[in-house]
Amino acid sequence: MPTSIPGLQPIHLPASPGWWPPAPGWWVLAALLLAVMAWLAMRWLRMRKRSRTLAAALHAFDAALGDAVDAPARLAAASAWLRRAARTRDPAALTLEGSAWLAFLDGDDPARPFSQGAGNLLGDGGFRRRVDADIAPALLLARTRFAQMCVGVDGETRSRRRSHA
């Protein structure tokens, strides 16, 4: 077999494709990755804002209780802050009194900690001249319920910055 034929040139292979621009599939993958990263960043920022807002609300709640001079004043302050948070859930909660208010605070809890437990002091303890019972369980219960009412069912922090309580 002849090694070369006169007049023929050697075969020239095309250059290998460059890395830029990438194929359309890579563009789709990059766009999908960017969308997922943006979604994760937004969720993280929302969660961070929610936790900061809740921490600030709990700090204000604790400060209000710390500023109170005696047990009835602490119970009245806790009840006022619970009413602020309840207003964001149900505006009609502002008009509730007595056992209806305590039942609202109980919510769906079958233990009924406000109407039948330590939280019962929040019903009228703020109006008494003197409270002989230990108010620490009632205040802890009020703080827990306040935090639950500040964070809604969907996990979003509810706005508590209103002009009046």
Domain that holds residue 65: 50-150
Record the pTM: 0.70
DSSP character string of 20-38 = SSPPHHHHHHHHHHHHHHH
Task: Write down the pLDDT at residue 73.
Answer: 92
Does 15 fall in a domain?
A: no
Does 20 fall in a domain?
A: no
Does 100 fall in a domain?
A: yes
Contact between residue 75 and residue 125 where contact means Cβ atoms under 8 Å apart: yes
Task: Write down the pLDDT at residue 1.
Answer: 54
CA dihedral 89, 90, 96, 98 (to 10 degrees): -30
Task: Write down the pLDDT at residue 123.
Answer: 85
Does 60 fall in a domain?
A: yes
Task: Write down the pLDDT at residue 160.
Answer: 41
Give the count of domains, the chain: 1
Task: Write down the pLDDT at residue 133.
Answer: 85
Does 140 fall in a domain?
A: yes
Return the HEC string of 55-121: HHHHHHHHHHHHHCCCHHHHHHHHHHHHHHHHHHHCHHHHHCCHHHHHHHHHCCCCCCCCCCCHHHH
Contact between residue 101 and residue 78 where contact means Cβ atoms under 8 Å apart: no
Does 105 fall in a domain?
A: yes
The string of pLDDT tens digits covering residues 114-157 is 989 888 888 888 888 888 889 999 999 999 999 999 876 444 44
What letter would DSSP give residue 137?
Answer: H
Spans of the chain below 70 pLDDT: 1-3, 152-165
Does 61 fall in a domain?
A: yes
Does 25 fall in a domain?
A: no
